[in-house]
Amino acid sequence: MTTPRSTYRGRFAPSPTGPLHFGSLVAAAGSFLDAKARDGEWHLRMEDVDAPRCSMAAATEILRALEAFGFAWDGEVIWQSRRTDIYAAALDQLKAAGRVFPCACTRRELADSAIAPDGAAIYPGTCRDGLPAGRGARAWRVRVKDACITFEDAIQGRIVSDLAREAGDFILFRADGVFAYQLAVVVDDAEAGITHVVRGADLLTSTSRQIFLQHCLGVSTPSYAHLPVVINAAGEKLSKQTHAVPVDISRPVPMLFAALEFLGQRPPQELSGASVHELMAWATAHWQLDQVVRGPALPGGQNPAG
Ligand code: GLU
């Protein structure tokens, strides 16, 4: 193994379910600039663990768009779809430590459960002490017990989560045979030695679960900074589902300029006529994390560059 040149290791981890849009550009820019302004590394991970929802075409398009916008990543791109053995080993470690249990419950059986803030059912504990007679394991869940997680987010401030109330025993291995996002992210961030996670505030509720899993697996916890999420005029997060407009790779400067402004940075107007590399160089040299608005979401146009 080579020794990292710097102590800061950041990452951007898009799910290739569709093309890059203004919201994902903001997350890419925030994580990239925070890393590069601190002379750090910025790694790229394709979160394609949920293969049926992802496509190689979308992944290729994201890579092309990132290049066009002047993002250069360190090392090889990591593909989650090629790492299931590593996730299986982590789950085995948790099985051996008695931290997880098999669950036979179907979605329908859980339909009456309380709902977590992120919309998922809070597990009522049916299989926690053993599978009901005659039932087989469908999924694997982690035992949350009374875990309370507190962390300092570099943008959003102190976050306190009562995991039993907010998430319950959450899934690590799904009934459809796919490792859950929460497990994959924790394993990947730990293995890549990620020290700083900068991403959208829609993932704040996941962060407490991920810190809990880091404790279960005995790996270190990175620093977190959650950027406000870009919402459209209807108040919805920009995404494929809300028909966010893909970034225009033939004209990257206006959208990158808008992404910097969304992040509270103030690029001088004359840079709107500069090259994308000049704009990125300015943004790296002038990046100020404390200018990013503290809050879960902020409006940003579907295509603010017009
Ligand atoms: N793949 C996730 C997404 O695109 C991001 C995960 C992360 O940054 O931890 O929303």
What are the pLDDT digits (tens) for 141-155? 999 999 999 999 999
Residue whose CA lies nearest to ligand 1 atom number 6:
13
Pocket test of ligand 1: the residue of 11, 12, 15, 209 to mutate, having most ligand atoms within 8 Å of its CB, is 15
Mean pLDDT of the region 253-280: 97
Pocket test of ligand 1: the residue of 47, 183, 197 to mutate, having most ligand atoms within 8 Å of its CB, is 47
Atom of ligand 1 nearest to the CA of 27: 8
Question: What's the gap in Å between 279 CA and the centre of ligand 1?
Answer: 25
Residue 79: strand pairing partners: 46
Report whether pLDDT(305) > 50: no
Residues in the chain: 306
Report whether pLDDT(1) > 70: no
- Using the Cα atoms of residue 100, residue 168, residue 107 and residue 111 in order, give the sign of their dihedral: positive
How big is the CA angle at 238 (ends 54 and 247), to the nearest 5 degrees? 75
Q: Is the CB of 27 under 6 A from ligand 1?
A: no
Count of C-beta atoms within a 10 Å radius of residue 50 = 18
Predicted TM-score (pTM) of the model is 0.94
Q: What pLDDT does residue 301 have?
A: 63
Mean pLDDT of the region 98-122: 89
Q: What pLDDT does residue 306 have?
A: 43
Q: What pLDDT does residue 240 have?
A: 83
Rounded Cα–Cα distance for residues 62 and 7 (Å): 27
Q: What pLDDT does residue 288 have?
A: 98
Percent of the chain with pLDDT over 90: 85
Q: What pLDDT does residue 243 have?
A: 86
Q: Is the CB of 47 under 6 A from ligand 1?
A: yes
Q: What pLDDT does residue 277 have?
A: 97
Atom of ligand 1 nearest to the CA of 206: 9
Percent of the chain with pLDDT over 70: 96
Q: pLDDT averaged over the chain?
A: 94
What are the pLDDT digits (tens) for 176-217? 999 999 999 999 999 999 999 999 999 999 999 999 999 999
Mean pLDDT of the region 245-269: 96
Structural domains present in the chain = 9-83+194-206+220-299 (3.40.50.620)
Question: What's the gap in Å between 134 CA and the centre of ligand 1?
Answer: 38
Pocket test of ligand 1: the residue of 185, 191, 206, 241 to mutate, having most ligand atoms within 8 Å of its CB, is 185
* β-pairing verdict for 78-79 and 100-103: unpaired
What are the pLDDT digits (tens) for 153-170? 999 999 999 999 999 999
Q: Is the CB of 189 under 6 A from ligand 1?
A: no
Report whether pLDDT(302) > 90: no
Report whether pLDDT(8) > 90: yes
Rounded Cα–Cα distance for residues 272 and 123 (Å): 51
What are the pLDDT digits (tens) for 57-77? 999 999 999 999 999 999 999
Q: Is the CB of 44 under 6 A from ligand 1?
A: no
3-class DSSP assignment, residue 227:
strand
* β-pairing verdict for 223-227 and 196-200: parallel
Question: What's the gap in Å between 13 CA and the centre of ligand 1?
Answer: 5
